Amino acid sequence: MTLGIKLRKEDLKGVLDIGSNSIRLVIYKSASRALVPVFNERVICKIGYNVSETGYLNPKGVEKALKSLPRFEILIRAMGVDELYILATAATREASDGKEFLSNVKKIFGNSITQLSGIEEARLGACGVLCGIPGADGISGDLGGGSLELTSIRGGAYEFGQSLPLGHLRLITTVGLKPEKLSNYIENILSSCSYITENQRFYAFGGAWRAIARLHMVQTGYPLRVVHNYTITGDMASEFCKIVSGMSEVSLRNSDAIPNQRIASMPASALILQKLIDRIKPKEVIFSALGIREGFLYDRLSDKEKLGDPLLLVCKDIGVNESRFPPEVIYLSNWVAELFPNDKKDMCRLLTAVCLLADIGWSEHPDYRAEQAYFRILRLPLVAITHKEKAMLALAVYLRYGGDINDHSLRAVIKLLNEDDIEWSYILGSAIGIAEKLSGGKSKLLDGSKLCIGSEKVELHIISSKVGLLSDEVRTRLSKFAKKLKKTFCLYVT
């Protein structure tokens, strides 16, 4: 049976990251400002195990890597990846047989390999942070198996960086896991870094530190299990890391938040983070899901491309592909924006994102559109957006579909919002719902109408040539909206 499905040609880009602990392949839809991963897989090889002691890569790790990598090569060809970039980091940089190993990797893929210096690895990691958190300002840290890269980021730009021999795999093999000895070793290396001074924010990334973030979410009952932009106070992070650094392997295995391959390195990883936090004394520790791979692609963009807004670009792509009609966002956003005359730039941006995603639930069963759209948005891999903003975005689209704001499914995530946040989402979502009913989803038809919220009334003004768009459902929505705001509604034809 032939279905005649025509697939859209994607400009797929791949990054293979050869780390000391793991080798990871990530395939992205394109190398744009809005990086969307379509494939993400790693293999734990530990090629850097004991390299600082022996001077050579771990033979068992090398063997496992060379047996595992042909799978990646087959997948890359099958997916039609347009371009593959291979990055090598600390282990192959330091090992005497690093070049030999990379030569064998090159034979598998037929690609050139970029061996990063410590400084370049630090810089690209910082670029990854900026890719997902534009305007980041503070110190960033990328913890890997073989090294720790620290950078200074000021006003959304990389200043300088350094690579330190503080990888969690390195510490386990060279220092061991005795807390006092490990603590002294870490403090001794950090004390030599004069630029590590007190900062408002510390941006943490790398697989081990992301695992700590996930564990903290589970332990505290945090309602949104998304690592990117997960933010906790410096004091809270330090105290939690102190606890994790003293946990036994048995205790760590009891948590589903930590992959089995990460358990052995968790105490050392937590202790490194604790010592860093105690030196930097940040008010906030912010975890980034983006790192060196995203930073490498971001670094290749033009200055103009880097100025693009990754949140709005992703929302636009989703809206174009999943809405009933091509989004006429300018008409819809202008129509609802008049209800928020005092909104600042960041809220206007969030309003635009809501409008772009306002129609993504249309293909669901009508009884489940609100709920499905809500959870879909919460789980989208969006960047350049805080968790609070993401909750507001999801809630607004939920209410656009007429969802019940008192539904039990909202209780957890709604804890991230205050009363003003909820009111903003309610007004915006309800107004978009009215706009969609009035225009049938063709937002250009909103031209000639206006929704106003006064001190006592909710008013819909519409020109006489558009009166035919009015329906009982539009009136019902208006009445319900006004009643919720404890106002009456009026309809004016001009």
**Structural tokens at position 236:** 């809270």
How far, in Å, CA of 413 to CA of 399, rounded?
A: 15
- Share of residues in the chain with pLDDT > 90 (%): 87
Q: Which residue type occupies 417?
A: L
Give 180-190 pLDDT, tens digit per residue: 999 999 999 99
φ and ψ at residue 284, rounded to 5 degrees: -130, 145
Residue 43 to residue 192: CA distance in whole angstroms = 34
What pLDDT is recorded for position 196?
77
C-alpha–C-alpha distance, residues 490 and 66, integer Å: 72
Of 217, 125, 38, 133, the C-alpha closest to 389 is 133
pLDDT score, position 192: 83
CA–CA dist 354, 155 (Å, integer):
27
4 has pLDDT over 50: no
- Give tens-digit pLDDT for 190-219: 988 877 777 789 999 999 999 999 999 999
Phi-psi region of 481 (alpha: psi -120 to 50; beta: other; left: phi over 0): alpha
Q: How far apart are the first and last CA of the chain?
A: 57
How does residue 283 score in pLDDT terms, banded at 50, 70 and 90?
Answer: very high
**What single-letter amino acid sits at 8?**
R
Average pLDDT, the chain: 94
pLDDT of residue 176: 81
Reply yes or no on whether the pLDDT at 486 is more than 60.
Answer: yes
Instruction: Express as a percent the part of the chain with pLDDT over 70.
Output: 98
The C-alpha angle with vertex 468 and arms to 467 and 471, in degrees rounded to 5, equals: 95
How much is the pLDDT for 5?
A: 42
Give the CA radius of gyration of the chain.
26
Dihedral angle over CA of 275, 276, 280, 282, nearest 10: -100
Mean pLDDT, rounded, for 331-344: 95
What are the two backbone dihedrals, phi and then psi, of residue 38, each rounded to the nearest 5 degrees?
-110, -10
Residue 7 — very low, low, confident or very high, per pLDDT cuts 50/70/90? very low
Q: Which two three-digit tokens encode residue 320?
A: 């174009």
Q: Name the pLDDT band for 9 (thresholds 50, 70, 90).
A: low
pLDDT computed for residue 1 by the predictor: 41
Q: Is the pLDDT of residue 249 over 90?
A: no
CA torsion through residues 115, 121, 123, 129, sign: positive
**Banded pLDDT at 416 (limits 50, 70, 90):** very high
Tell me which residue has tokens 């005649």.
Answer: 4
Ordered by where they begin, the domains of the chain are 12-115 (3.30.420.40), 119-294 (3.30.420.150), 309-493 (1.10.3210.10)
Q: Is the entire prediction scored with pTM above 0.75?
A: yes
- Residue 409 scores a pLDDT above 60: yes
pLDDT for residue 6 is more than 70: no
Summarize pLDDT for 295-329 with one digit per residue, the tens. 999 999 999 999 999 999 999 999 999 999 988 89
For residues 153 and 29, give the distance between their C-alpha atoms in angstroms, rounded to a whole number: 28
